[in-house]
Structure 1
């Protein structure tokens, strides 16, 4: 009994210390402190996604295309993880800011176990319908065998991949970014080590890349689970699992934008593969490479934004709106500056970047080089888009956050992808994403500034 009391006392002390840090310490220092681990996490995760493409591209063009196609399936799995992770994590962050610890603990367990159950359902249904699923996602006859081989193993990892994303986001939104980073980075490094061993040494081909991915994801999951229960602010306890309509409504409010964003990303990737198919396997493989490079560039900004989210959630819950506004503008300035530098670097080194993945298929190289050039031009717009989306989601402005979440890859990208190839041919596919980025940026200005205006009005009322 005494041991339990001591354990609960330590938990309370950790929670109070974290509350004080997030609601009172210097904003710029706090965002950077929380942002560095999440930037490392995102860059490492993105790097190992690129590593999959890099090693698989050494097999053949069809294998490269297959990884790009199955990425749509992975995006669906990630969508479920982010839905429960952000939905429960944002709720937890605000509740901890309001010092409602018991409610936060119940949400932590409910979000985690619900995600694992849904992940298991995805594994069962996906395995049963694997061939039609691979075809729907854009596999041609020559790519289909590779897609099925890769997807079969990715589906096996769905239960703990979804649960792992929940743990990562809950830890991060509690302000424990370092522990979240350790789990992700360990899995990513292990994947980079396993890929060449399984693909080449054991001659497993694209199947080896998939096995390497699920082994590394499981290792990361185990570390995150241990970290949550040993060092986290809110350990996962089975007795706290309390599924209810109220809990799931709260998860929907906080997680719907993530579900929309990730789901539409899956559909848009599949749509891109289908639209690229008339131009050959090389076009599908080329756009897969460009997407991975763009994701790597964007991951640093997403990581920085994830450092902003717990600051936003805690201070919004504590009604310290001036700190939320200050943190937002600080993050926008830094992220835009970094993206301008990245844009210049990618634009000037497009050929070298593309050659890292494939230096033999001339058709692939030509498409990837041009598309990467175009993509570099729109990179500086991503900072304001990403930070606005994260602020709207963390403050639980569900409708506005969901609209902005689906704009880039859905509202704008899919119609553009349908129309542009008919007008501009292959060039239409290459310029579709940058054009969608521009339109999304224009939409994000009124949506992002609307919540800033609301918080300023609330501050004015408090001052009277």
Structure 2
């Protein structure tokens, strides 16, 4: 059955890309809804409770980033093994991922519990907010092992070309969270702590459902007997996983730096930048899903030594991604006020956000190129290009240029958007050159292998 699925992907790669992408988009939307649901219910408790969640979310997203990096490293290797027809090696990789997720979650839980108080104090939390933030995050830390395992199992399904099952599990978790939030927050009168308990229970139940589907529907047999320790395999997972995690951490750092820079102009400018960033995340969400699907397919095609299909799917995915973002960019350009008004009714923020948004949308096509090529090379087993191009884009070009424009040349806040555009153009160019180089190497290696077989 698994072999037939891979054959169908090879036969119709374009259809496979769209088939894999849609469930990922839905799954990402569900993840966004998790945060909205918690904020909506906690919001009724007052400003201090909202502030507690605001302080907690960056820490939570860092943990998600580390988890996602591990999942990307594991799923990339699984998909390449499946493309090579090495099912047992794929199963062993899955077991390595599960064991690593358990170890990581335990280490992070212990570390988090030790450093959570000084960390929130450093962020500037007041005494009351500090207490609420610690009570919220402490419970989430205790549930960290459930979150890590649930995500890893979802990644195992995705690596097999099954993105529907993880989406079902995510929807189940969201519905459970919506039901449990008001019960623990209001009925049991636990407030912010109740929101955390509801989240952990929903994640635990999602994990139980994941295990059920893993036994019932997975084409890979995941069992301790499948595990054979391999330091080489461990290095391969981490070689992709660590850069993937660092990319997410780097993006968080970039936003924090730009927030501080915008604060130079005033609080309203920070808020305006935040609103445009939210629109960005909504517009780019389908592209993230598309790039994740491309990573899985590229892994399978690369493992099967079908370099022609790797090039075809990257080219097709990039074209689809650019067309989609151009449509979104056009809508934002024609209806900028209406777009920003989704998040605020403040006229001043809308007026400040409009010119920034019109510059910001110019980055969309370049973001598509960088994101898809980075994921494609992760699928080929190389996590470093994605890290390097994102480093170039944000911390090497965009941040220094922003400071140059604002503090040295005395330009206004819109110069920050120009700096971001320049960074994205540079990253896209480097991505294309690097990808063509890697593809050239892969084709040369394949030709050399064929020649050696002939002689």
Normalising by structure 2, we get a TM-score of 0.84
> Residues 349 and 80 of structure 1: is their aligned pair in 2 closer, same or farther, counting only changes over 3 Å?
same
Task: List per-residue Cα deviations over 1:64-111 (Å, max 9, x = no partner).
Answer: 676555333223212221222111111111112112222211110121
> Residues 282 and 148 of structure 1: is their aligned pair in 2 closer, same or farther, counting only changes over 3 Å?
farther
Given candidates 434, 444, 448, the residue that maps to 1:447 is 434
How much does 1:200 deviate?
7.8
* Structure 1 equivalent of residue 367 of structure 2: 382
Task: State whether structure 2 residue 384 is matched by structure 1 residue 395.
Answer: no
Task: State whether structure 2 residue 13 is matched by structure 1 residue 30.
Answer: no
* Structure 1 equivalent of residue 144 of structure 2: 158
- Is contact 2:170-2:206 (8 Å) kept? yes
Task: State whether structure 2 residue 304 is matched by structure 1 residue 315.
Answer: no
Secondary structure of the structure 2 residue equivalent to 1:357: coil
Given candidates 409, 423, 429, the residue that maps to 1:436 is 423
How much does 1:49 deviate?
4.1
How much does 1:342 deviate?
1.4
Secondary structure of the structure 1 residue equivalent to 2:26: helix
Task: State whether structure 2 residue 281 is matched by structure 1 residue 295.
Answer: yes
Secondary structure of the structure 1 residue equivalent to 2:20: helix
- Is contact 1:80-1:115 (8 Å) kept? no
Out of 254-263 and 454-463, give the one that drifted further: 454-463
- Is contact 2:43-2:50 (8 Å) kept? yes
Secondary structure of the structure 2 residue equivalent to 1:401: helix
> Residues 147 and 298 of structure 1: is their aligned pair in 2 closer, same or farther, counting only changes over 3 Å?
farther
Given candidates 332, 341, 345, the residue that maps to 1:346 is 332
Task: List per-residue Cα deviations over 1:406-464 (Å, max 9, x = no partner).
Answer: 44444334434554553446445566544433332232221232223334445655777
Task: List per-residue Cα deviations over 1:360-395 (Å, max 9, x = no partner).
Answer: x66655555554444333222222111100111110
2:182 and 2:450 map into 1 onto residues whose CA distance is 61
> Residues 108 and 238 of structure 1: is their aligned pair in 2 closer, same or farther, counting only changes over 3 Å?
same
1:36 and 1:236 map into 2 onto residues whose CA distance is 26
Task: State whether structure 2 residue 70 is matched by structure 1 residue 84.
Answer: yes
2:233 and 2:319 map into 1 onto residues whose CA distance is 36
> Which runs of 5 or more residues in structure 1 are unaligned?
1-13
How much does 1:325 deviate?
1.1
Secondary structure of the structure 1 residue equivalent to 2:220: coil
> Residues 373 and 89 of structure 1: is their aligned pair in 2 closer, same or farther, counting only changes over 3 Å?
same
- Is contact 1:22-1:311 (8 Å) kept? yes
Given candidates 40, 58, 65, the residue that maps to 1:72 is 58
Task: State whether structure 2 residue 178 is matched by structure 1 residue 168.
Answer: no
Given candidates 381, 388, 400, the residue that maps to 1:415 is 400
- Is contact 1:81-1:165 (8 Å) kept? yes
1:196 and 1:284 map into 2 onto residues whose CA distance is 32
* Structure 1 equivalent of residue 290 of structure 2: 304
> Which runs of 5 or more residues in structure 2 are unaligned?
none
> Residues 230 and 156 of structure 1: is their aligned pair in 2 closer, same or farther, counting only changes over 3 Å?
same
1:154 and 1:366 map into 2 onto residues whose CA distance is 39
Normalising by structure 1, we get a TM-score of 0.82
* Structure 2 equivalent of residue 16 of structure 1: 3
Number of corresponding residues: 448
Matches for 1:324-339 after TM superposition, within 5 Å: 324-339=310-325
1:370 and 1:156 map into 2 onto residues whose CA distance is 44
1:65 and 1:364 map into 2 onto residues whose CA distance is 21
2:231 and 2:358 map into 1 onto residues whose CA distance is 48
> Residues 358 and 189 of structure 1: is their aligned pair in 2 closer, same or farther, counting only changes over 3 Å?
farther
RMSD: 3.5
Task: State whether structure 2 residue 257 is matched by structure 1 residue 262.
Answer: no
* Structure 1 equivalent of residue 206 of structure 2: 220
1:445 and 1:21 map into 2 onto residues whose CA distance is 28
- Is contact 2:374-2:386 (8 Å) kept? yes
- Is contact 1:309-1:391 (8 Å) kept? yes
> Residues 139 and 239 of structure 1: is their aligned pair in 2 closer, same or farther, counting only changes over 3 Å?
farther
> Residues 283 and 47 of structure 1: is their aligned pair in 2 closer, same or farther, counting only changes over 3 Å?
farther
1:69 and 1:235 map into 2 onto residues whose CA distance is 41
Secondary structure of the structure 2 residue equivalent to 1:129: helix
